Structure 1
Amino acid sequence: MSPSSANNGAAIVVDAHPPLKDFLDKLAQLTISPPPLEPPSLYIDIEGVRLGRQGSISIITIHVSPISKTYLVDVATLGRTAFTTQGSREYTLRNILESPDVPKVFFDIRNDSDALFSLFDIAVAGVRDLQLLELAVKSQIQSPKPLVSSLQHCIEADLLWTKEAKTDWLKIKEEGKKLFDPKKGGRYEVFAERPLQKAVVRYCA
């Protein structure tokens, strides 16, 4: 395990094969002795440079709810082996992403799915898209037909956090945007630069 693979406060960065295998074994254990399917156990987000079929995937963030841990799988470092490496139970990240029996929560999966399929031939299944679920709820109670909301809007409007917790979340998000958002003087390539900046790790988590 490299130094950045240790628990970096907000998340555990997985950038070598031994810790990746350990992580896959943890996920395999959840499948062999599965927790209830509701609520789902895995919450996933992907960051990259021009994320989509014309870009690249740098980091896959996976929060594992039953063990309350967040992992950052470093695809920029591991490359295709991030998806093909097997744990001791012959489990791969590809297996997890493509399994319809393992519920996975995303928020707006469009670019994530496009990148996974186009760049690594991975067809994600078992997806719960929170953005679409939120839109479906609003559609039942609002007229005219509402538009899809951003994650930040949902956090600010709907999440039952304290004011202090929301303020901390927004601060971390803003710090991240300054690094990667060209409109704020950032560059998306920051997700592919190594070593990962702590602000990038916090943002992903």
Structure 2
Amino acid sequence: MDEAGSDTGKATGRGGWKQDPAGVQSNILAVAMSEFADNGLSGARIDEIAAKTRTSKRMIYYYFGDKEGLYRRVLEEAYRKVREGERKLDLDHLPPVEALTRLVEFTFDHHSQNPDFIRLVMIENIHHGAYLERSDLIGRLNAGAIEKLELICRRGREAGLFRDDVEPLELHWQISALSFFNVSNRATFSRIFGGRLYSTEGQETMRRHVVELILRFMLKDKRS
């Protein structure tokens, strides 16, 4: 049997890509996310990704073009998931303080529970954001996140609760920074200072204090 016939048989036998292309692509992206997070763009290998999926190397190229195309799609999927999680919080119907609290809690939890996302962002920073810049989807997704935070801030200001000299983009930076460092520097921080902050109790305390820091920063009556 020729190479094309062999690949087709392999793909069908390992996952039935003809019957479930969306499922196969989702499987590829999940495996690739772990591989890129562990090895970076240059270190990840399509052969290794294919070996851990339900399909073939040929079909990876068919769906994603090349390794850089797959990496870009992985970035898009990573950002899509975090923004989708924010959307499901349904914050528009909550009082502004509760909405901001829920958003901070979600961000802290998401980053803590998805270290591959943090590693991917760190890797993309090594590449100076070059692949992220090529994705219109990521730009739209993250613009929506700032718009959502703008609505929370506006409602908080109108209620006389939030200070009016903080831009939503800066607030997003503050929330992201506190939640990101908790994961990005976990290995070095815990080796230098011990792992107490990364115990279950330590993380619960950190989560609560991150919320308090953000609220103290934003609430007019918490700035004394």
Q: TM-score, normalised to structure 1's length?
A: 0.31
More strand by share: 1
Query: Which structure is higher in helix share?
Result: 2
Structure with the greater alpha carbon radius of gyration: 2
